[in-house]
Amino acid sequence: MPAAVQTASADPPKSSASGGAPRLYTAKQAKAGEQIAKHICSVCHGPDLQGKSGPAIAGPAFLKKAAALEWTVGNLRTIVTSTMPRNNPGSLTKEQYANVLSYLLADNCYPAGQTKFPTRNTAKLKHTALKPQSGVKPTNAKLGTCPLQMAQAKGAQAAGHK
């Protein structure tokens, strides 16, 4: 029987299969966020989130820059919820922002789990570094990203679900 879905207010479980990366979102949230990203975020960030009129928000260059700036997942959440979409900041619901951020984490190879991404900033998000995940090989070698299907499959396998 699967564990109940929780929010990321406490330390989420870590997975040895994902290099110890925290599981900050559910695959269901990331899937919902993918739809929003395809319709709203891709206008500025491109269809693969590699940048267009706005900067890249997925892939190794983005994660290296975020690490160099010492960003946390909480910093990313604050930027997204307060400044995006550029033409109408703050226009999404709290759940929609949580879903978009879940999708961004999935695309950047953070593994899914059973912990829901929260609708507010938490201490855990503020202390989780936004950086390339050690021991995780991007499934899209060209872009250095992890397509959602792969993030879902790896998250389910690591959680013991098939």
Closest by CA position to 116, among listed 15, 37, 29: 29
In degrees rounded to 5, what are phi and psi of residue 14? -110, 155
pLDDT of residue 19: 52
Q: Which of 29-66 are b and which e, b meaning 16 or more Cβ less than 10 Å from the residue's Cβ?
A: bbbbbbebbeebbeebbbebbbbeebebbbbeebbeeb
Kindly indicate the confidence band of residue 59, based on its pLDDT and cuts at 50, 70 and 90.
Answer: very high
Q: Is 140 exposed, middle or buried (0-12, 13-18, 19+ CB in 10 A)?
A: middle
Q: Is the pLDDT of residue 52 over 70?
A: yes
Q: Quick check: bond before 85 cis, omega within 30?
A: yes
> Which pLDDT tens digit goes with each residue over 79-137?
999 999 999 999 999 999 999 999 999 999 999 999 999 999 999 999 999 999 888 88
pLDDT of residue 122: 97
The CA distance from 54 to 35, in Å, is 19
pLDDT of residue 3: 40
What class is the 24-155 domain?
A: mainly alpha
Interior angle at CA 16, CA 156 and CA 72, nearest 5: 90
Kindly indicate the confidence band of residue 149, based on its pLDDT and cuts at 50, 70 and 90.
Answer: low
Domain boundaries, given as residue ranges, for the chain? 24-155
